[in-house]
Structure 1
Amino acid sequence: MMFSLTTPTLAIALTLSATFALSQDIPTSTLTQITDFGDKPTGVENYVYIPATLADPPALIAAIHYCTGTAQAYYNGTQYATLAEEYGFIVLYPEAPAEGKCWDVHTNETLTHDAGGDSLGIVNGLRFLIDLYGVDPEKVFATGTSSGAMMTNVLAGAYPDLIRAGAAFAGVPYGCFAGENAWCVECAQGELIKTPEEWGALALQGYPGYTGPRPKMAIWHGSVDTALNTQNYYEAIKQWTNVFGVSQNATSVTENWPVEGWTRSEFGENVEGILADGVDHNIPVQAPQVLEWFGIA
């Protein structure tokens, strides 16, 4: 098996090519690029963080950056790598190939199972690590912020056979940006309103014919988000409650969770929404609570 490794902090790219038989050849406790992970039709780059000690078997999280972000930025700006050392899971940090570093969440290819687009580049990175490290297939997750949250929803719709749970911070529902243009003003401004049935049917189109389990979803959003209007929070709740066939009426509401002024609404076991009062698009990632949702912590 041939693959190359580079670290994104190096001023000069270092490429190592050799025949490796064991997963331990990827350095531990450092952010490392993997290159020969399979098909990457749009040129998605993937970086991985392997903790010093892995759980047996380990879980795997795709931690997906925002527009203008990078794998390095999301690695630096979130707690996932630190928590990986504590709990023994693997973190995949994908990096968008587009000039502005936004993810393709609009093309039919990325929205459809194994059809191409940025989503397939991420998924093949996950598949590579699952095989290499014997990852528990019931513990493969996705989370992200802004454009990364949009991609989290895309992965939940197009790859429900792979992703077991998602946590989206300030995103939009699956398919909300679908169309010719990379940016959908109508969706971003919260003007794309659908019924729960319409949203649910859209999500099910991501993997035609699939009848297996669906990933449970946690939707996080600021109450005064104007970049991706807060209405998208409510539309995403419509979507995933419909997918799971549960009511939009919360079964449990917890005030001041996990931060004062934030409210968690649970819609059965598989959907929850966290609305952060007074918070704009720059919602802080709550990594420990994400791990709880994933069943890791």
Structure 2
Amino acid sequence: MKRLTALVAGVCAAVLSVVMTATLPHQAAAATLAEVTGFGANPGNLRMHVYVPDNRPARPAIVLAMHGCGGSGPGLYSGSEFASLADRYGFIVIYPSASKKGNCFDSWSAESHVRGGGSDPVSLMSMVTYTLQRYGGDADRVYVTGTSAGGMETNIMLGNYPDVFKAGAAFMGVPHSCFANEADYIPSPGASNCASGRISKTPQQWGDLVRAAYPGYTGARPRVQLWHGTNDTLVYYAALQQEIDQWTNVFGLSQTPTGTDTPQANWNRRRYADPAGTVKVEAYSIQGAGHSLPMSGMAAAAVQFFGLTGGGPTSTPTPPAGACRVTYTPDSWNNGFTAAVTIANTGTTAVSGWTLTWTWPGNQQITNAWNATVSQQGAQVTARNAAYNATIAAGTAVTFGLQATYSGTNSAPTQFALNGTACALAT
């Protein structure tokens, strides 16, 4: 709900028929974010953008990626790591834009809680259907993710269309059908019963809400990855346990994890595997984080969970040792500063096209940049190469600069990711 309303910042034959008979909409060029119109039934009045990487297999996977309240599809494209990961692994990303309640995806209406009920979920399914048909996508590799309002909608889509999605990753979400109605979808911290975690249900009751979304369905269910910051004061951390209760019950699993670990500093992970050892649900508690996910490296962990990196869906991404090193050198004054950022390729192969991401630990706001295109969404920053410095040969480095404002303490970022892979920090 990225400030819920912004502290701002089946697929049925009828739908297929509309998509197949409609005039071809604007076609997205490769490696360019492009808007698509006329993609099919659109009761939610959503907009659709799609990113199609230059290099992709004949039947590419598809990831539906949804923004938080007050955001947009293009904003999530420029402010997250999913596009650079798409370039690296060859999947297509759909970036929808919501239109309700300050650009929030509808997870509160009765229509949104059931398969084919109408509102935003049906519009989103039209986008998936269009993309599968237009680009020859692999129907066995369709995934969904989202942050805040988009994380809530991720749980909705996984429950409504379990036969379409193979896995999903919900950042800062709430359980499926948690909101009783629109009146509970309130933008103030602590005001919503659902977002504050005050709704008390047993795992069975939470699971029943998912089963009611597609009555009689007995097929396979998509695996679920859940993320939440322990200091989230907008969508309370208590919602994470409710999501765990819901999805473990749907899978018929115990609410006691089969394994726990810390893949990275402050990332506490619980895993819930079936008797065969396949992880069906995994949940990340990010220590000290507020309503600011995903941070650097988290999109890569989601894509790894989907199984799109070649390492299998149940393993944790391990960045190649010494592949990159970042030097961050700030020069501060009063309430402003400049910073030089150097990316060194310490690996053995060239980097062709780069995206560097990080999360500010304070309230820094970028105002200008040079030698890179830099965008910011909340605390997350994305820097993309210029045309003249896109290649970083092995053993070489590139440097770009930025100017920004701040108040309080101008703390440096503690983690950088290059094309979705964590880099070492120069000391």
TM-score by length of structure 1 reads 0.90
Q: Which amino acid aligns with 1:228?
A: V
The aligned residue for residue 192 of structure 1 is 199
* 1:217–1:289 Cα change, 3 Å: same
**Unmatched 5+ stretches in structure 1:** 6-24
Q: Which has the higher helix share?
A: 1
CA contact (8 A) 2:256 2:272 kept: yes
Give the CA deviation at 1:99.
Answer: 4.8
Deviation at 1:245, TM superposition (A): 0.4
Secondary structure of the 2:63 match is strand
| In structure 1, C-alpha distance between the alignment counterparts of 2:101 and 2:32, rounded to whole Å | 26
Q: 1:289 aligns with which of 301, 305, 324?
A: 301
1:232 is aligned to: 239
Please give the residue correspondences for 1:83-98 in structure 2 after superposition, counting only pairs within 5 Å: 83-98=85-100
TM-score normalized by the length of structure 2: 0.63
Name the CA distance, whole Å, in 2 between partners of 1:180 and 1:168: 21
| RMSD value, Cα | 1.3
Q: Paired residue for 2:286, among 272, 276, 279?
A: 276
Q: Match for residue 352 of structure 2?
A: none
Aligned residue for 1:4?
25
Aligned to 1:73, the other structure's residue is in SS state helix
Whether the 8 Å CA contact 1:219–1:233 is kept in 2: the answer is: yes
SS, match of residue 193 in structure 2 = helix
Equivalence for 2:211: 204
**What CA distance in whole angstroms lies between the structure 2 residues aligned with 1:37 and 1:125?**
6
Structure 1 segments of 4 or more deviating over 3 A? none
Counterpart amino acid of residue 232 in structure 1: A
Q: Deviations over 1:167-193 (max 9, x none)?
A: 001110101113242606101111012
Deviation at 1:134, TM superposition (A): 2.1
Is 1:241 equivalent to 2:228 in the alignment? Answer: no
Task: Give the unaligned 5+ runs of structure 2.
Answer: 1-21, 187-191, 274-278, 310-427
* Identity across matched positions, percent: 38
The structure with the larger Rg is 2
Contact 1:104 1:182 in 2 (8 A): no
Contact 2:28–2:35 (CA under 8 A) maintained in structure 1: no
Alignment of 1:69-218 (within 5 A): 69-181=71-183, 183=185, 185-218=192-225
CA apart distance, 1:37: 1.0
Higher deviation after alignment, 231-240 or 158-167 = 158-167
Q: Deviations over 1:32-51 (max 9, x none)?
A: 11111110012111110001
Q: For 1:58-109, what per-residue CA distance to the aligned partner results, in whole angstroms no more than 9, with x for missing partners? A: 1000010000000111001111111111111000000001250111101111
Deviation string, structure 1 residues 166-223 (Cα, Å, up to 9, x no partner):
1001110101113242606101111012100000010111112221111110010001
